[in-house]
Amino acid sequence: MLLPFFEWCENTVVGSAIRDSLWAFPVIEAVHLVGLCLLGGALLIVDLRLLGVGLTGRSISELSAQARPWLVGAVTLMVATGIPLFLSEAVKCYYNTSFWVKITTLPVALVFTFALRDRWARSPELDTSLRSRLIGAGSIALWLTVAAAGRWIGLSA
């Protein structure tokens, strides 16, 4: 049912242009990886603190607020590079299990981070506790799944 949409994606101007270019896909892919680094840093600085390690001398709310613009920037960079990569090989993605794992866990991770973790971290009374550890571990597990599934798109035929 969704296949016609994926075929349409692949035939978009952007999708075709990237496929026709020798350099476009690798270069966009490399920038996607730079985004991954930034995303990892912006997430981990808060997640490690939630786990009770890392910058334990600072409050969770402070770190979360400071990391947020970089987190938003990283997600923006990942999406802005991820969409063209997808467009260039949409039909391959349609038949790729890893792609579906990534594309379904990604919204969960985004909602968890921006709707839940963000709100929990903002309350000044949240300090290292079983609850904060569960939030931190959940965040790392979710994003690791998204990233690992993303990497596996390229490795599974």
Partner 1 sequence: MVLSILEWLEGTRWSIALLESIWVWPLVESTHVLTLGLFVGTTIMMDLRLLGVTFRQVPVSAFTGRMLPWTRVGFAIMTVTGLLLFYSNPVRYYTNVFFRLKVLVLAIAGFNAWFFHARAHRTVDEWGAEPTPPRAARIAGAVSIVGWTIVVISGRLIAYNWFDCDIQPQPDLINWAAGCVLGAE
Binding site for partner 1 (CB under 8 A): 22, 26, 29-31, 33-34, 36-45, 48, 53-58, 62-63, 66-67, 69-70, 143-144, 147-148, 151-152, 155
Determine whether 20 is exposed, middle or buried from the number of CB atoms within 10 Å of its CB (0-12, 13-18, 19+): exposed
What would the two tokens of residue 119 be? 């709100």
We find the least distance from the C-beta atom of residue 101 to partner 1, in angstroms, to be: 14
Task: Closer to partner 1 by CB, 12 or 66: give it.
Answer: 66
We find the least distance from the C-beta atom of residue 111 to partner 1, in angstroms, to be: 20
Task: Closer to partner 1 by CB, 44 or 101: give it.
Answer: 44
We find the least distance from the C-beta atom of residue 43 to partner 1, in angstroms, to be: 8
All residues at 6 or more sequence positions from 15 whose CB lies less than 8 Å from its CB, including other chains: 9, 84, 87, 88, 90
Task: Closer to partner 1 by CB, 17 or 53: give it.
Answer: 53
User: CA-to-CA distance for 70 and 83, rounded, in angstroms?
Assistant: 20
